Chains A and B, each alone.
Chain A
């Protein structure tokens, strides 16, 4: 049993934390990969812009990285995501262990401090790398100190729902045009893997044989890698099943939608994707994640009161 508002805040804290981590990593990997002015670097810049939802953008990449990190007017900047994650966590401060809260609060205080922009300027890679590893600490603290009950499940569902959409968007930006037009430069391919924090696990699975087909297969269908879309949808379905247990949630219940998305991923394979292009299924992942989000809100948070009055 938990307050509807609290569940909603925990869910959003999870989403914003995941978004902050992803955008930090995108910016860091992009800066690292575009130090020279090769063709691959141009490709990486285009992928990054696509993954941010702004494929037509142009301009200096360091400026872009700064805007992605610290811009207060950019609603998806790392700073704004951290601020929102922390604001959500603060509203449910009594539900989060102190160990978990402090990790997030430290990060937030550092990102809003007057020194943040100077330390970004001095060493942007270190600045972003540190945010990513601190967010890992946050997740570790949440995992190992919070009770794995309802509240935690809402937060983790937020993380995976956000992740499924972010990875889908990254893959769409990289390989959306079908495998024929996919980048072939090893540097661009390595960069895509790095942006999904997947390089080392990929190498262990496929060895250093880098090609778009394997990368797509790994990031979409791998069963064990925590950033593959299939893994994320498995998690979403699992947590929603737990959350929905013993509840009447109506026909548009979120766990049914999650089950459908999971099945879609489970029964598709790379051959099918090769035929029709990855774009279609990736777009479906994004659309269905949105539908799950809305169904969750209807089922757990903004339900009509008259349907839930206790039996008199």
Chain B
């Protein structure tokens, strides 16, 4: 909101003056109203504790974050470029594997990754769109430049919070919202439906789309139900589906109905006990065979996780150059691959300055934040690194940018990242908005909702609403 000199950045001016007029009491009041409305709507996620399980709302901050048109244009172009390249990469490694033969990426790094699915080899994916829904995590560097921290290509979540936050911020700051010419995010559900339909449109004129959820105990269940409701398609669980003669059906009150496109919010491992994990009860036996036979489309395709693997991540700029012959518009965060001995030595020597992440893990688990860790924790991680270097990468402690948040009635800076949502089938479309995740503990850098993070709305301004500068 503020520039380095402490002046209000111009695109924030209307919001800032409105906040001043409202005053602390009115703001706290609106914050309470907002939280209550989330709770009543059931916009909650489930926290699994040692003994109790509770439903909580993701703490939501009142103040929207504002991104001017010019900044967004660059982000949008960068995200489109990146997802195009990653889809080409997936089509290649599950096809001719040219990029591996050409030695751009070490073969064992891709084929040896736990998220690589040999079962996907030579499988036809419509439009080459392996990733239909992507939710990349971006951070803003001190220079103001957005860089990509992580590509989430498996089953990214959070889009329902983007939509709910928008609903809330429009109610909280209606005047500023009108004046600011904020671009709409509300079309996301119908764009998602169009994307999913187009994955089967070529051979099924009116494809039956369903959302596959692990069920009501999943922490993102609210979102699954929300998207199904707004798209007007059935929300199914594994037990609702059966495969017969290579065709997927759902059990309805009037018998079996054919299913054409499955927007699955279940991880690869669990979608089919016959193909993947045998102990999974969330999936559908025979689903993967039906998929291989081409009678159903699974979105995102199984096996996309190999392209958001934290080690493959380091090669994304090279991937973009290889397939598109372009330089990456959005840069990566500098990343050390511990599989390279020289880089491992560097990481071990600088453990107190680096963030170390396990390659396969996500959601803020299996991670060491060097500067905040105790000597004992660092030693434990150093041992793990030496034992299994392939499993780790390290990055400099990233200074996440901050945005003002309402904390106990006062405006205070908190660290934030940015998760825009990108849809891809025939075309790649970036929704002009995002989920801004907030690390609510002062000084904390962890924004994951499972670890005490919150969120806020993100306003992307239309062309002439941005910085005059």
Least distance between B256 CB and chain A CB atoms (Å): 5
Q: Which of A3, A90, A102 contacts B234 (CB 8 A)?
A: A3
A211 close to chain B: CB less than 8 A: no
B52 close to chain A: CB less than 8 A: no
Instruction: Give Cα A309 to B245, complex, Å.
Output: 11
Asked if B252 and A1 sit within 8 Å, CB to CB, the answer is yes
Residue numbers in A under 8 Å from B441 (CB-CB): none
Asked if B256 and A93 sit within 8 Å, CB to CB, the answer is no
B229 close to chain A: CB less than 8 A: yes
Least distance between B190 CB and chain A CB atoms (Å): 15
> Do A310 and B40 form a contact, CB below 8 Å, given A4-B240, A94-B229?
no
State the interface size on chain A (CB cutoff 8 A): 33
Residue numbers in A under 8 Å from B228 (CB-CB): 94
Instruction: Give Cα A57 to B41, complex, Å.
Output: 40
B244 close to chain A: CB less than 8 A: yes
Instruction: Give Cα A267 to B104, complex, Å.
Output: 85
Asked if A3 and B41 sit within 8 Å, CB to CB, the answer is no
Instruction: Give Cα A303 to B242, complex, Å.
Output: 13
Contact with B along A43-76 (1 / 0, CB 8 A): 0000000000000000000000000000000000
Beta-carbon nearest neighbor of B249 in chain A: A310
Asked if B253 and A1 sit within 8 Å, CB to CB, the answer is yes
Contact with B along A278-312 (1 / 0, CB 8 A): 00000000000000000000001101010011101
Residue numbers in B under 8 Å from A105 (CB-CB): 40-42
Least distance between A134 CB and chain B CB atoms (Å): 13
> Do A109 and B40 form a contact, CB below 8 Å, given A5-B237, A243-B253, A308-B255?
yes
Asked if B40 and A7 sit within 8 Å, CB to CB, the answer is no
Asked if A1 and B39 sit within 8 Å, CB to CB, the answer is no
Interface residue ranges of A1-19 to B (CB < 8 Å)? 1-7
A247 close to chain B: CB less than 8 A: yes
Least distance between B255 CB and chain A CB atoms (Å): 4
Interface residue ranges of A232-287 to B (CB < 8 Å)? 243, 246-247
A203 close to chain B: CB less than 8 A: no
Asked if A3 and B256 sit within 8 Å, CB to CB, the answer is no
Least distance between B330 CB and chain A CB atoms (Å): 35
Q: Which of A1, A6, A91, A94 contacts B254 (CB 8 A)?
A: A1
Least distance between A156 CB and chain B CB atoms (Å): 15
B117 close to chain A: CB less than 8 A: no
Instruction: Give Cα A154 to B253, complex, Å.
Output: 10
Asked if B236 and A247 sit within 8 Å, CB to CB, the answer is no
Contact with B along A137-166 (1 / 0, CB 8 A): 000000000000010001000000000000
Asked if B244 and A1 sit within 8 Å, CB to CB, the answer is no
> Do A247 and B216 form a contact, CB below 8 Å, given A90-B42, A93-B42, A93-B229?
no
Asked if B216 and A87 sit within 8 Å, CB to CB, the answer is yes
B251 close to chain A: CB less than 8 A: yes
**What's the dominant secondary structure at chain B's contact region?**
mixed
State the interface size on chain B (CB cutoff 8 A): 31
Q: Which of A6, A94, A95, A310 contacts B255 (CB 8 A)?
A: A310
Least distance between B389 CB and chain A CB atoms (Å): 45
A106 close to chain B: CB less than 8 A: yes
Interface centre among A2, A4, A95, A98 (most CB of B within 10 A): A4
Asked if B257 and A1 sit within 8 Å, CB to CB, the answer is yes
Instruction: Give Cα A1 to B253, complex, Å.
Output: 7
Contact with B along A87-103 (1 / 0, CB 8 A): 10011111100100110
Beta-carbon nearest neighbor of B225 in chain A: A93
B258 close to chain A: CB less than 8 A: yes
Asked if A308 and B256 sit within 8 Å, CB to CB, the answer is yes
Contact with B along A30-47 (1 / 0, CB 8 A): 000000000000000000
Residue numbers in A under 8 Å from B244 (CB-CB): 305, 309
Residue numbers in B under 8 Å from A93 (CB-CB): 42, 221-222, 225-226, 229, 235
Asked if A309 and B40 sit within 8 Å, CB to CB, the answer is no
Least distance between A9 CB and chain B CB atoms (Å): 10
Residue numbers in B under 8 Å from A101 (CB-CB): 41-42
Instruction: Give Cα A310 to B250, complex, Å.
Output: 11
> Do A5 and B216 form a contact, CB below 8 Å, given A101-B42, A105-B40, A243-B253?
no
> Do A2 and B252 form a contact, CB below 8 Å, given A87-B216, A94-B235, A305-B242?
yes
Instruction: Give Cα A153 to B221, complex, Å.
Output: 25
Residue numbers in B under 8 Å from A94 (CB-CB): 225-226, 228-229, 234-235
B74 close to chain A: CB less than 8 A: no
Residue numbers in B under 8 Å from A309 (CB-CB): 244, 255-256
Asked if A2 and B253 sit within 8 Å, CB to CB, the answer is yes
Least distance between B225 CB and chain A CB atoms (Å): 4
> Do A3 and B216 form a contact, CB below 8 Å, given A102-B40, A309-B244?
no
B321 close to chain A: CB less than 8 A: no
Instruction: Give Cα A109 to B234, complex, Å.
Output: 27
Asked if B216 and A106 sit within 8 Å, CB to CB, the answer is no
Least distance between B251 CB and chain A CB atoms (Å): 5
Q: Which of B39, B215, B216, B253 contacts A4 (CB 8 A)?
A: B253
Residue numbers in B under 8 Å from A312 (CB-CB): 245
Residue numbers in B under 8 Å from A308 (CB-CB): 255-256
Q: Which of B229, B242, B251 contacts A3 (CB 8 A)?
A: B251
Least distance between A246 CB and chain B CB atoms (Å): 8
Least distance between A281 CB and chain B CB atoms (Å): 31
Instruction: Give Cα A102 to B39, complex, Å.
Output: 9
Residue numbers in A under 8 Å from B256 (CB-CB): 305, 308-310
Least distance between B409 CB and chain A CB atoms (Å): 24
Residue numbers in A under 8 Å from B235 (CB-CB): 92-94
Instruction: Give Cα A246 to B255, complex, Å.
Output: 12
Instruction: Give Cα A178 to B240, complex, Å.
Output: 49
Instruction: Give Cα A301 to B42, complex, Å.
Output: 27
Least distance between B208 CB and chain A CB atoms (Å): 10
Residue numbers in A under 8 Å from B39 (CB-CB): 109
5 closest residue pairs by CB, A with B:
A308-B255, A93-B225, A94-B229, A94-B228, A300-B253
13 A–B contacts from the bound complex (CB under 8 Å): A1-B257, A3-B251, A4-B240, A90-B221, A91-B215, A91-B216, A101-B42, A105-B41, A105-B42, A109-B39, A246-B254, A310-B249, A312-B245
A91-B216, A109-B39 provided; 12 other pairs, C-beta below 8 A?
A1-B253, A2-B253, A4-B253, A7-B253, A90-B216, A94-B228, A105-B41, A106-B40, A243-B253, A300-B253, A305-B244, A312-B245
